[in-house]
Structure 1
Amino acid sequence: HCFGCGLGGDVFKYVEQSENIDFREAVELLADKYHIELHYENSGNGPSRENTGSKRTRLLEACEEAQRFFVSQILTKEALPARKLLGGRNFSQADCERFGCGYAPQGWDNLVRHLASKGFTQKEILDAGLARQGQRGIYDYFRGRVTWPIRDSTGRTLGFGARKLYEDDQIAAKYINTPDTQLYRKTQVLYGIDLAKSAIVKKRQVVIVEGYTDVMAMHLSGIDTAIATCGTAFGAEHAKIVRRLIADDSLGAVQLVGPLKVKDQPLSSRIVFTFDGDAAGQKAALHAFGLDSASSP
């Protein structure tokens, strides 16, 4: 108990309040930090959680090593198209370093071989969503693309987003993300949350944009509360994360209407959606506000 501020509780409560995370996340953060094995029980109300704490730690370590590998590749000769794409959007080398931009080289197993040299098993690499199983073994999931690390609010790398650079890419999608893993669930991650968290908590405001480069541009322009969803629409789980950070229970579900005056607070809680004006952006906006196309003017 603190006689100064009046707050009290155990170590879990302290981590929850200091990191603005919930109890489950606090337990996992401490377990990951101190290499404590966790055992999950399926309550019957959600998907089975068969992973253990020791495995989570290895997957987190694999993702962090993958991030270091991608960053190390961004200045290579092969990565020139990646640097041109980022430079064409007026992002400097320092900007790219700040946001962790990297490059996944072409070829089938560059990252797989790198991770194997660091002691990671094929199963760990697969379970981290960094590789796929092929007929002749495992191969890199991200190949010939610009990469961005997708982290949780405490800064741990959970997965990646990547943009297509070459026309002969065997994956047609312009953007791809880490598939759902024991660490990464697209309905529960927000790009830039690690960078924006402190500003969101302080200002009780958040700006939600569509993509990685949008987040970069906003932060570099002084809008330090910008975050983005990763390959999916803004949904209920995202709303829970945002509500916890701005500490406003009056914002219900995904119907985040702002600005709203919060009692005893000098600032208003405000959620700002800034989607593109194309059909996809309009659809995302309607979904975010819990509307359907029939009710739009």
Structure 2
Amino acid sequence: MIPQDTVQKILQAADIVEVVGDFVTLKKRGSSMMACCPFHNEKTPSFHVSPAKGIYKCFGCGQGGDSLRFVMELEGLSYPEGLKWLAKKYNIEVQEREMTDQDLIQQNEKESLFIVLEYAQNYFHDLLLKNEEGISVGQSYFIERGFSKAIIEKFNLGYALDSYDDFNKKASLAGFTTEILEKAGLISVKDNQSKIDRFRGRVIFPIHNVAGKPIAFGARILKTDPKAPKYINSPETEIYHKSQIVYGIYQAKNAIRQADNCFLVEGYTDVVSLHQAGIENVVASSGTSLTPEQIRLIRRFSQNITVLYDGDAAGIKASLRGIDLILEEDMNVKSVVFPDGDDPDSYIRKVGSQTFTDYVNASQKDFIRFKTELSLEEIGNDPIKKAGLITDLVESITKIPNPIKRSVFYQEVSTLLQIDENILINEGNKLLRGKNPEQKKGRSDGGGFSPGPPEPARNREKEIVEASMSKTNFHEEVLVRDLVLYGHEVIDKDYETEEEHTLADYLFHETSEIRIEDQLLQKIYATYKQYYDLGEYPDIKIFSSSPDTKIQDCVINWMSPKHELSDNWTKFEIFVPKYEEKLSDFSYKLVLRITKDKLQNEINQMLNEIDDANDEDQEIIVVNINKKQLLIKKIADILGAVM
């Protein structure tokens, strides 16, 4: 195993001209070096080496890569062997190492946590089904709530005996050490070395990861004890981070995909009760504040969330922050409030699944109407409070990355509260510029971003270089290409604050809702995003020297334009704008084209569905198609396209 810092040292030392020059005779031509390709027979040189970019590319046979790839391909070496070849050339010492005992301990510890938690789940579940106390106390509670044996099995529900150390004794006899039991959050060790079970006299709700492995437990007390909390949960461990998981995601993920919507509730019993009634696309935040990581986990399965609130006004207001977080992740959110005194669990047990579903469908509201109606009941005719509500709504709208969605919601607030839409847009743009450096100056369409006035631009279809992959979406490839090549370029500057905004700022903000279908493009996009989220712009060599040859081939194609402008253009004072100089205009129009493509795909999907729909659904589909066509026309007008 070659340490990563040594790998980077080798790659940085390897000069592409020196390495290739050991095998072929290179001649300078402009900014590149040229030769006949060593990978295929040719008489006219088409093998280019770029010293500045550190890559080679043959436009005859398509071979391309960096110094390491060159020696691997030409000498038939593996990746480690190629690294050693370069290390020897540049006198770099390579000290390979095996996994240390500490490495093995850390790896084994993680595996041990999964094993011991699986054991604990089975232990608690068996107690519920077979132990006298588990049956009389635990099962009685679940039966009272209407849970069937099938649903108990589905969620692996269990019971912990009202004993200080029964679990610890059984687990110790099974071979688990005190250290791993404590690290898993299953026991606590006191100063006097006594070992006490964490869960005692409670019903158990196992918490599973997306793959279905138990990673933690939630436990509800059954007896009245004013000194004891109603619920306790496992502590954070190496495999359980409560901010990154939602309860029920394993059992709900397929249903969420099928329904293309996720019901978000607060408690464990809400989730289990809805599953019991046949409503399976539901997860719970487990009583904790909603986090961005939890929302992103849900977004893997659907872009739509319906938040089901208890009928408690104080709880609803406390939960409104979660809506803003959902908006920031560019998801579509609706809200439902149950009659006062009811939560999803109690309401569905009271009325049944059909009435429950009818109520949700009839009562759900988008976040604008929800927040507005919730607040108008309190503010009455007070103009100061009304102004505060408007500011609050505008602030929520600015959380939405998608400019078209922002525009639609500005229109809705304008209609609901009888206020000029341009005032809302202007206030929103002030908030965007003041709070988020990546947000830009506003447009009259309510998008809140203007990298520059739309100017006549070159036809981008003519500029794209030959690609080594099949394209599922041309515009998405241009997006990822420009991100990799020019993401660090500054395209906008706020002269009041001196803040500079890059192409990556713009693209990640304005296109965060895009699901890139091509796996290779998605991989490149995700890699760049990982660095960006850490406040870095990844060096192009991250991709051009990637161990993944598909990524390397793709990016080197982007880096290797087949034609270059002659120096004679400059000699005769004929100045042609560089691609980088037009990034602002190109990217603005690219975002609009991608959005337009997405809308058109949605229309096509609805047209495919309309023949099979009943009369009522057909009317709804036609209305939705008309809305999307209006948005497409608006975009087409901006682009100057003829519809």
**Same fold by TM-score greater than 0.5:** yes
Q: Is 1:157 the equivalent of 2:214?
A: yes
Q: Does the 8 Å CA contact 1:161/1:176 hold for their aligned counterparts?
A: yes
CA distance in 2, matches of 1:38, 1:240: 35
Report Cα offsets for 1:43-86 as digits up to 9, x if no partner. Answer: xxxxxxxx822111000100000000000101322122222221
2:180 aligned residue: 124
CA distance in 2, matches of 1:77, 1:183: 33
The partner residue of 1:103 within 159, 162, 180 is 159
* 2:320 partner letter: L
CA distance in 2, matches of 1:37, 1:208: 44
- Alignment coverage as a number of residue pairs: 228
Q: Does the 8 Å CA contact 1:189/1:230 hold for their aligned counterparts?
A: no
CA distance in 2, matches of 1:88, 1:38: 51
Post-superposition shift, 1:39? Answer: 8.4
2:311 aligned residue: 277
Percent of residue pairs identical: 36
Q: Does the 8 Å CA contact 1:63/1:128 hold for their aligned counterparts?
A: yes
CA distance in 1, matches of 2:110, 2:249: 20
Larger Rg computed on CA atoms: 2
Q: Is 1:138 the equivalent of 2:192?
A: no
Q: Which has the higher contact order (CA 8 A, sep 6+)?
A: 1
Pairs within 5 Å for 1:1-297: 52-75=106-129, 76-79=131-134, 80-134=136-190, 135-168=192-225, 172-246=228-302, 269-279=303-313, 281-290=315-324, 297=375
Q: Does the 8 Å CA contact 2:147/2:276 hold for their aligned counterparts?
A: no
Post-superposition shift, 1:168? Answer: 4.7
Q: Does the 8 Å CA contact 1:176/1:231 hold for their aligned counterparts?
A: no
Q: Does the 8 Å CA contact 1:37/1:52 hold for their aligned counterparts?
A: no
Report Cα offsets for 1:193-248 as digits up to 9, x if no partner. Answer: 111112223332111111111111111222211011134121111011112222xx
Q: Does the 8 Å CA contact 2:263/2:307 hold for their aligned counterparts?
A: yes
CA distance in 1, matches of 2:284, 2:318: 12
* 2:253 partner letter: K
TM-score (norm 2): 0.34
Which of 206-215 and 78-87 deviates more?
78-87
1:5 aligned residue: none
Report Cα offsets for 1:114-159 as digits up to 9, x if no partner. Answer: 1111111000000001111112322100000000110001001000
Q: Does the 8 Å CA contact 2:159/2:202 hold for their aligned counterparts?
A: yes
Question: Secondary structure of the residue that 2:306 maps to in structure 1?
Answer: strand
Report Cα offsets for 1:90-129 as digits up to 9, x if no partner. Answer: 1122321221110010111111111111111000000001
Q: Does the 8 Å CA contact 2:165/2:197 hold for their aligned counterparts?
A: yes
Post-superposition shift, 1:283? Answer: 3.8
Question: Secondary structure of the residue that 1:232 maps to in structure 2?
Answer: coil
CA distance in 1, matches of 2:265, 2:100: 37
1:31 aligned residue: none
Which structure 2 segments of 5+ residues have no match? 1-98, 326-370, 376-643
CA distance in 1, matches of 2:139, 2:100: 41
Q: Does the 8 Å CA contact 2:161/2:202 hold for their aligned counterparts?
A: yes
Bigger helix fraction: 2
Q: Does the 8 Å CA contact 2:205/2:219 hold for their aligned counterparts?
A: yes
Post-superposition shift, 1:191? Answer: 0.9
Q: Does the 8 Å CA contact 1:38/1:54 hold for their aligned counterparts?
A: no
Which structure 1 segments of 5+ residues have no match? 1-35, 41-50, 247-268
CA distance in 2, matches of 1:105, 1:230: 23
CA distance in 1, matches of 2:279, 2:269: 13
CA distance in 2, matches of 1:279, 1:129: 35
Relative distance call for 1:234 and 1:125 in structure 2 (3 A) is same
Which of 74-83 and 110-119 deviates more?
74-83
CA distance in 2, matches of 1:230, 1:129: 18
Relative distance call for 1:139 and 1:280 in structure 2 (3 A) is farther
* 1:71 partner letter: H
* 2:324 partner letter: G
CA distance in 2, matches of 1:94, 1:273: 27
CA RMSD of aligned residues (A): 2.6
Q: Does the 8 Å CA contact 1:74/1:103 hold for their aligned counterparts?
A: yes
Question: Secondary structure of the residue that 1:234 maps to in structure 2?
Answer: coil
Relative distance call for 1:106 and 1:217 in structure 2 (3 A) is same
Relative distance call for 1:283 and 1:173 in structure 2 (3 A) is farther
Relative distance call for 1:244 and 1:94 in structure 2 (3 A) is closer
CA distance in 2, matches of 1:281, 1:199: 27
CA distance in 1, matches of 2:276, 2:171: 33
